[in-house]
Structure 1
């Protein structure tokens, strides 16, 4: 009976198996070789792709478990309690609040003078009254003179209170001294602060390509220093008519520094100018009387007895001529002077030291001045727009002093200066007349000048020239060799 039940149960299992095989025939076809049946009818197990996939997966799971479990165990570990430290009270020194407080910094406000401004204009612009200005003037002492003649570009410093009242005023008493007026105490006070001044030597070399100022700018000189160079050689060189491309200059000069900042131009120490192949030199030298001057290598003053041209002009509008068609009269007439065209109002300077012999209106010349320089030489200036106030016949004038201003009074078609150079009353061509040479330094000073100034400075100029020529010779693209 038991055997029958076992057989029936076995037959049902086989029937269910056959039914499952028929329903999932495709799966069994693909995975039949996965069987672990050890009967002789089934082939031995071989490592196929599916085996490698299962093995790799198992290995990966094992490795991940090795990393994750320790990390999880560390995260679950309780945080260690830090060791306790005992705090002991220490006695600290008391802080002196007065000694550690920061000093108060005054808030000075700088104001730069604009063209046409007066000191009262500047004070009014800061909301201050004439009473404030008077307080400053009264307290300024010897510096009061500097406040009477202010110039565009100057700076004044104001210290104002919270209510706008004047607490302090600073200004430059001279180049090296600053005056500080304080009005925030019981009485006004004046303090003089000495500025740290020093001279720094500069060297420049330029070659004329278009103009003197362009060459100076390329050499690193500012316009003011180029102007000083032109003033040195203006007695010998007409920088409008005589300058040529290829002319050159070498100059040693000082720059002024105040409190470590460049303040302005100093003086030219030594200079050399080559104009149309002719060499001119200038050296600064302290004379026996204590004054400084500039002298050529032979010891003659650079400042000649006469200016070659007494006005800053734009062009020569008419040259010296014995026969010229007069632009107004329309007939041939001698023109016994040189006309220098310049804007109306351009200052006219005395060509040399002398005495005013004529001062007034002259037919054809308009406003006219004649200066007698010595027994034989005089100079004349015509067509002025106006004279300098206060000058009159018999007054002594110095070389370079302004005697009038360019205009077109009299017989003139445009603003210009008509300039004449007369010898024994006869007009000579101002451009070609031989001007008298100034006397050289006395023998004792001349020897010192040559030994202490010319010899060392000339050696430096020669060294500079040699370095410049070497640099040019070694420059790329040089075809002089």
Structure 2
């Protein structure tokens, strides 16, 4: 082959660049200028590589890496490298952080007031209220309750929390533009058994408070033994009681007391015991260690505190008219406003006012029994209403023919007045543990009764130890 032939077979730069230029014009109509520049650089590099590979005289000893310059991103660029997209991690957008705004219900506050203080529009309040039946209860908030508004960066409400107490809360979470979803939350506290005891020197309540019990627990003790002990008449100095109850803790901090688990009360030398039991139906009540119900058809007194100022007496001298007139009930002197309880389940036969009786409430219990409550300051029930045992039906007062604040209480059997202080002992008790459930009852109450007996025994032993 001659040199001329060899030269003829070689491409001249003009011949090589001519079609490239034509191609560039064609591509320029479809691609941005920056992409074309990058493509041109890549093409020239490839040509150089091809020329090097075509020369056999010098073997390639090192493959030098050739790094192509990347074209800068251009708005509207639709060409992407799939491999680079997979290899390059894409950060997820940060979660929206919520800001908490806490509002405590004060006297005179309304729900709209709280929303306004939290910077939320009235439209959002109506969206929450319309979300569920539970949400409508927000319109009846109690002083001291807390509402926590959780809002986003645009001050838009995302979650509303109603904190009922340390353990219970209700949440309303945004679901969409104008709806909220309700959920309830209940924390389980840590519970442990505690023991208290007291010997009565002055009164049940004074001695109980000194022993570290609350008013609520003392009223519960009076309720438990209300069918066996008249706490207005029977209590004597030297009576004693022991109680085993639950204390509740949250994060190591005491937040309150749970129910009484077992209790004993010695009155006038006679000891009564009661233990709490939850049956297979989920109902909790107090029973004797033998499984008999502590709850009778009627409790002995309609008051927790007070003293008998006048007994049942068919020939009593009337304090106002100074004539001998039958006193067909028992009078309990107590401070004005003291709560009065229904002594048994029943229906309000009549609730009204008369010149002699003042404000009064009559209750019908089944077919045979009627109880009457006279001289009330306020009536808490209406005629025809159903009531439960120990439901508050009024408060002590001195309306009608009365010389001072007291409750006149009557008990009728088949239309005949009977002595309220003695008739209750003769009436039937409530339902006791069935034979089918007796084994379960004994297994559940045995630990509490054993612990109550151990504590009581240790106390008696300590009291009887000789002193130097």
Report the TM range for the smaller structure's normalisation. Answer: 0.5 to 0.7
Partner of 2:281: 289
Q: CA deviation at 1:420?
A: 0.5
1:298–1:424: structure 2 CA closer, same or farther, 3 Å change rule? Answer: same
- Alignment-derived partner of residue 201 in structure 1: 192
* 1:35-93 C-alpha deviation (Å, 9 max, x unpaired): xxxxxxxxxxxxxxxxxxxxxxxxxxxxxxxxxxxxxxxxxxxxxxxxxxxxxxxxxxx
On the 8 A contact 1:167/1:182 being kept in 2, the answer is yes
Tell me, yes or no, if structure 1 residue 270 matches structure 2 residue 262.
yes
- Gaps (5+ residues) in structure 1? 1-95
1:194 offset after TM fit, Å? 3.9
User: Would you say the 8 A contact 2:232–2:304 is kept in 1?
Assistant: no
> What SS does structure 1 have at the residue aligned with 2:292?
coil
Query: Of the candidates 414, 417, 438, which is equivalent to residue 424 of structure 1?
Result: 414
1:109 aligns with 2:102: yes
Structure 2 unaligned spans of 5+: 1-88
Partner in structure 2 of residue 147 of structure 1: 138
Return the offset for 1:225: 2.8
Q: Tell me the alpha carbon deviations over residues 176-208 of structure 1, each in whole angstroms, 9 at most, x when there is no partner.
A: 553334679955654747444134122222222
1:224: how far off? 2.8
Give the paired residue count.
375
Partner of 2:393: 403
Say whether the 8 Å CA contact 1:295–1:302 is kept in structure 2: yes
> Structure 1 residue 432: deviation in Å?
2.6
Instruction: Give me the CA root mean square deviation.
Output: 3.7
Check whether the contact 2:236–2:268 (CA below 8 A) recurs between aligned residues: yes
> 2:444 corresponds to which residue?
453
Shift of 1:445: 2.1
Q: Give the Cα–Cα distance (whole angstroms) in 2 for the partners of residues 367 and 131 of structure 1.
A: 47
Distance 1:195 1:124 in 2: 28
- Structure 2: distance between partners of 1:147 and 1:119: 7
> In the TM superposition, what are the counterparts of 1:75-154 in structure 2 within 5 Å?
106-111=99-104, 113-114=105-106, 118-120=110-112, 122-123=114-115, 130-139=122-131, 141=132, 143-144=134-135, 146-154=137-145
Q: Report the secondary structure of 1:431's partner residue.
A: helix
Alpha-carbon separation, structure 1, partners of 2:335 and 2:375: 12
Q: State the alpha-carbon separation in 1 of the partners of residues 120 and 352 from structure 2.
A: 46
**Match for residue 79 of structure 1?**
none
Q: Give the whole-Å Cα distance in 2 for the aligned partners of 1:206 and 1:124.
A: 51
The residue aligned with 1:221 is 213
Q: How does 1:163-202 map to 2 (within 5 A)?
A: 168-172=159-163, 177-181=168-172, 189-190=180-181, 192=183, 194-202=185-193
Shift of 1:261: 4.1
Deviations 1:362-420 (A, max 9, x none): 5622333332324433211222344345x325x54332233344333321223322110
Cα offset for 1:294?
1.1
Alignment match, 1:20: none
Residue 277 of structure 2 contacts residue 445 of structure 2 at CA under 8 Å; is this kept in 1? no
Larger Rg, first or second structure (1 or 2): 1
User: SS where residue 432 of structure 1 aligns?
Assistant: helix
Aligned pair 1:444/2:436, yes or no? yes
Alpha-carbon contact 2:219-2:304 (below 8 Å) kept? no
Structure 2 distance, partners of 1:266, 1:114, is 28
In structure 2, do the counterparts of structure 1 residues 322 and 388 end up closer, same or farther at CA, with 3 Å as the change threshold?
same
CA distance in 2 between partners of 1:262 and 1:187 (Å): 40
Alpha carbons of 1:378 and 1:115: their partners in 2 closer, same or farther (altered >3 Å)? farther
User: How far has the Cα of 1:463 moved from its partner?
Assistant: 1.2
Q: Residue by residue, what CA displacement relative to the aligned partner does 1:80-117 show, whole Å, maximum 9, x if unpaired? A: xxxxxxxxxxxxxxxx9x99x99968444251x45675
Residues 125 and 341 of structure 1, relative CA distance in 2, 3 Å threshold: farther
SS at match of 1:310: coil
TM-score, normalised via structure 2 length: 0.67
1:295-352 CA-to-partner distances (Å, cap 9, x unmatched) read 1123221121112112344333322223333222122222111122344444433221
Q: Distance in 1 between matches of 2:128 and 2:420?
A: 52
Are the counterparts in 2 of residues 306 and 435 from structure 1 also a CA contact under 8 Å?
no
Q: TM-score, normalised by structure 1?
A: 0.66
Equivalent position SS for 1:197: coil
Does the CA contact (< 8 Å) of 2:129 and 2:136 recur in 1? Answer: no
Cα distance in 1, alignment partners of residues 155 and 320 from structure 2: 64
- Aligned counterpart, 1:379: 371
Secondary structure at 2:197's aligned position in 1? strand
The verdict on how the C-alpha distance between 1:243 and 1:296 changes in structure 2, with shifts beyond 3 A counting, is same
Describe the SS at the equivalent of 1:420: strand
Q: Say whether 1:316 aligns with 2:308.
A: yes
